[in-house]
Amino acid sequence: MLADANRSRAGAEQRVVDITVEDLSVNFGQTRNALSGVNLNVYQGEFVALIGASGCGKTTLLNVIAGLVPAAGGAVLVRNESPAAGRRDICYILARDALLPWRTVQRNVEYGLEVSGVPRAERERKAIAYIEKVGLRNYRDFYPSRLSQGMRQRASLARAFAVARSVYLMDEPFSALDSQTKLMLHDRLLDLWEMSGATVVFVTHDIGEAITLADRVVVMSKRGTGVADEISIDIPRPRSAEALQADSRYHDLYRRTWTSLKASTE
């Protein structure tokens, strides 16, 4: 029934819903409602950015989808199953790179594959390929302590996409980076994502980042009542983060999103 409703909303196209959030509520402690009445559908292969003022519950929503925070009411389905931490079809990318300091870049990228039970030879080959894709070929034998923040986050992206999962959940992975490095990482992420065809939910507070990356930007209401507005980003792909800076469509969408974000906080 749910799927039918989604299909009709999506229009003529037959789009498969990967993530369904229906009338979700989340409580922190006894009294405070972190989220209530949240509805959201994310389609297969879609890149959705969640933005909103701090305290709007965007990370909480992501964590419910990841199975880290229990829902107090409503229903959440990820690929027709209830969320659970450690599911083999979901990958979560944290705000911090979370690289193991005692492993080299190569062995860190292999770690996700190791946990997923990929045999040694294959995981070595895959790790090398993905390290190449994020441009860290010369740093394969480096320990994380000798890498810059941006390089560490690139290694973390390589580790995440090497395991080729269906759903990627990202919690402000680039928030600690300077704007130049950020643009470079946006391009890396878009490359990795376009090759993977995965469904992505990306939490950020950076409007530019959301527009650069996403198919759809979801603005969350400050009161924790869920989606305040949705902006479809119709900029064609492949996109280049740097070229977009000079694109008038990007700036129009930026203004539109900013207005919406401003309205959501009032």
CB nearer to other proteins: give 138 or 248.
Answer: 138
CA distance 193 to 165: 11
Strand order in the sheet with 73-78: 32-43, 17-28, 73-78
Tell me the window of 21-29, 125-133, 134-142, 196-204 that interacts with other proteins (CB under 8 A).
134-142
CA distance 132 to 137: 5
In DSSP notation, 124-147 reads HHHHHHHHHHTT-GGGTT--GGGS
The widest CA-to-CA distance across the chain, in whole angstroms, is 55
Residue 202: HSE in the Cβ half-sphere, 13 Å Cα cutoff: 29
Q: Which of 39, 148, 245, 259 binds other proteins (CB under 8 A)?
A: 148
Size of the site for other proteins (CB under 8 A): 36
**Least Å distance between CB 204 and other proteins?**
18
Run of H or E including 262: helix 248-264
CB nearer to other proteins: give 21 or 163.
Answer: 163
Binding to other proteins (CB under 8 A) within 215-254 occurs at none
Residues 185-196: b if buried by 16+ CB within 10 A, e if exposed: bbbbbbebbeeb
Q: Is 146 in the site for other proteins (CB under 8 A)?
A: yes
Binding to other proteins (CB under 8 A) within 85-114 occurs at 85-88, 90-92, 94, 96, 98, 100-104, 111-112, 114
CB nearer to other proteins: give 88 or 262.
Answer: 88
Binding to other proteins (CB under 8 A) within 179-218 occurs at 181
CB nearer to other proteins: give 18 or 97.
Answer: 97
- Distances in whole angstroms, Cα of residue 153 to Cα of each of 75, 82, 93, 137: 33, 29, 10, 15
**Least Å distance between CB 194 and other proteins?**
21
Tell me the window of 46-54, 135-143, 199-207, 246-254 that interacts with other proteins (CB under 8 A).
135-143
Nearest partner of 46 among 262, 248, 230, judged by Cα: 230
CB nearer to other proteins: give 152 or 222.
Answer: 152
Q: Is 70 in the site for other proteins (CB under 8 A)?
A: no
- What is the DSSP secondary structure assignment for residue 200, as one 8-state letter? E
- Contact positions toward other proteins, by CB under 8 A? 66, 68, 85-88, 90-92, 94, 96, 98, 100-104, 111-112, 114-116, 135, 138-139, 143, 145-151, 163, 178, 181
